[in-house]
Amino acid sequence: MHELSIAMAVIDQVRDAVPDDRVESLTLRIGELVAVVPEALDFSFGLAADGTLLAGARLVIETVDGEAHCDGCGRDTPTGMPPVLWCGDCERPLTLLAGRELEIVRVVVADEGPDGTAVGDTARDTTRDEETSHVPHR
Amino acid sequence: MCRTVDLHQAVLAKNDENALALRRFLASRGTVAVNLMSSPGSGKTALLEQLLTRAVAAGTPAAAVTADLATENDATRLARSGAPVQQILTDGLCHLEAGMLQARLEDWLPDGTRLLFVENVGNLVCPASYDLGETLRIALASVTEGEDKPVKYPAAFGLAQLVVVTKTDLADAVGFARETFLGGVQQVNPGVPVLETSARTGEGVDALLAHILRGAEGEETHTPVLARQHEKHLHSHANGTVREPGPVS
Ligand SMILES: [Zn+2]
């Protein structure tokens, strides 16, 4: 399951961007066609964030539908999943417009209080046992 | 009080940077990398053994890196071809990343290697997301796996520049529905070349090696529909510009 690697890549990049801040939430944009399962990513993120300044952060996933354009008939159509990337009417390949996004959009970080403790508490809900269908390979 | 920081970064930016560095390293050595992806048991190692043996016999310096979760069985098998072979044990990780490959190649890649075959971990989901600095990406499927592999694993087949069918000597025995398979391939990757091979009979192996060599000589390879957007994305990231957000469901 590469969702764990992806979660680790996300955490590395967020830590590079905001090295000293506790992260309240982060928003990812994930296209329908990149083969990343949001539930598996959420599960992996919880594991990988443990012990970092992202521990307890809320993961917000915006999904983007696959969409493609046909230069022949000029139509924009949803690709569906598995994607149809061929226009049967015009017998030509489509051009992909959306659906391959895999992006960290933004993070929300907590401003620290004067005594160094974070303002507000966003302890992560840890009821993850039900998601055992996505057990990572490592 | 909270602060919002806009990042707009590609999640795999680090891998993509490593892949770019690796691509430059390979180019400086005159080496062309071929990334092979398939599910476990597809006959990838047997086919690779044939490719290496023929490349060595034809005087084309070829080498292989084979990645597995555990055991060095594949490397031992491939070494019989006479080509230099290295094993990467991923220690449980289900795919190769560019940095892992580069670390292994830096102090090992033999001088003068023309073709470097990279046998990815047997898995059709995870490896598809990772650019390894390859020039040619090949997705393989055996006739015994079922005709719906391409539509079940659209990222692996959709991003391939060449699709190779293996074990065609068994096609009749298992009732391989060739047209269904090819229809699925064209649905997710219109125009991608498909070659049919059997490592047992040798059918199609010379044609496959010739196709790979033409790519190595700079002949333009197929650009998948799925890859076009991906490349644009990489370029926009490399230039430090931010892509317009797509429609959000
Ligand atoms: Zn059309």
Beta strands in chain A (DSSP E): 22-31, 58-64, 67-69, 76-78, 86-87, 92-93, 95-98, 102-110
Say whether residue A120 is in contact with chain B using an 8 A CB cutoff: yes
Chain centroid to CA B80: 22
Query: Strand pairing partners for B116?
Result: B33, B63
* Residue B212 dihedral angles phi and psi, to the nearest 5°: -65, -40
Residue B244 is predicted with a pLDDT of: 37
Q: What is the mean pLDDT of residues B15-23?
A: 95
Say whether residue A71 is in contact with chain B using an 8 A CB cutoff: no
Say whether residue A57 is in contact with chain B using an 8 A CB cutoff: no
State chain B's maximal CA–CA distance in angstroms.
69
Cross-chain Cβ contact B233/A100 below 8 Å: yes
Q: Is B227 in a helix, a strand, or coil? A: helix
Spatial CB neighbours of B157, under 8 Å, sequence gap ≥ 6: B139, B141, B149, B150, B163, B184, B185, B188, B189, B192
CA of A94 to the centre of ligand 1 (A): 8
Cross-chain Cβ contact A110/B9 below 8 Å: no
* Lowest-pLDDT choice from A47-56, B92-101, B151-160: B92-101
Cross-chain Cβ contact A35/B226 below 8 Å: no
Look-up of token digits 């999904």: A63
For residue B238, what are the CA distances in angstroms to B16, B20, B42? 9, 10, 36
Q: Given the DSSP bridges, would you call strands B2-10 and A102-110 parallel, antiparallel or unpaired? A: antiparallel
Asked whether the beta carbons of B61 and B95 are under 8 A apart, the reply is: no
pLDDT digits (tens, 9 = 90+) for B184-199: 999 999 999 999 999 9
Rounded CA gap, B232 and B72, in Å? 38
Optimal mutation site among B1, B2, B95, interface A, most CBs of chain A within 10 A: B2
Spatial CB neighbours of A54, under 8 Å, sequence gap ≥ 6: A11, A14, A15, A23, A26
Specify the pTM: 0.86
Optimal mutation site among A61, A91, A101, interface B, most CBs of chain B within 10 A: A101
CA of A71 to the centre of ligand 1 (A): 6
Say whether residue B15 is in contact with chain A using an 8 A CB cutoff: yes
Of B91, B130, B187, the CB nearest to A84: B187
Q: Is the ipTM of this complex over 0.90?
A: no
Name the helix (H) or strand (E) containing B6.
Answer: strand B2-10
Say whether residue A90 is in contact with chain B using an 8 A CB cutoff: no
CA of A25 to the centre of ligand 1 (A): 42
Q: What is the mean pLDDT of residues B81-86?
A: 93
pLDDT digits (tens, 9 = 90+) for B26-80: 999 999 999 999 999 999 999 999 999 999 999 999 999 998 877 788 888 899 9
Say whether residue A35 is in contact with chain B using an 8 A CB cutoff: yes
Burial B177-204 (b: 16+ CB within 10 A, else e): eeeebbebbbbbbbebebbbbbbeeeeb
Rounded CA gap, B245 and A83, in Å? 21
Residue A117 is predicted with a pLDDT of: 52
Say whether residue A7 is in contact with chain B using an 8 A CB cutoff: no
Q: What percent of chain B clears pLDDT 70, i.e. is strictly above it? A: 91
Q: Which pLDDT band holds residue B125 (cuts at 50, 70, 90)?
A: confident
Asked whether the beta carbons of B125 and B155 are under 8 A apart, the reply is: yes
Query: Which residues on A lie below 8 Å from B14 (Cβ)?
Result: 9, 12-13
Cross-chain Cβ contact B248/A62 below 8 Å: yes
Is pLDDT above 70 for A137? no
Q: Is the dihedral of CA A15, A20, A25, A27 positive or negative?
A: negative
The long-range contacts involving B220-224, CB below 8 angstroms and separated by at least 24 positions, are B221/B135, B221/B136, B221/B161, B221/B162, B222/B161, B222/B162, B222/B191, B222/B192, B222/B193, B223/B161, B224/B158, B224/B159, B224/B160, B224/B161, B224/B189, B224/B192
CA of B33 to the centre of ligand 1 (A): 35
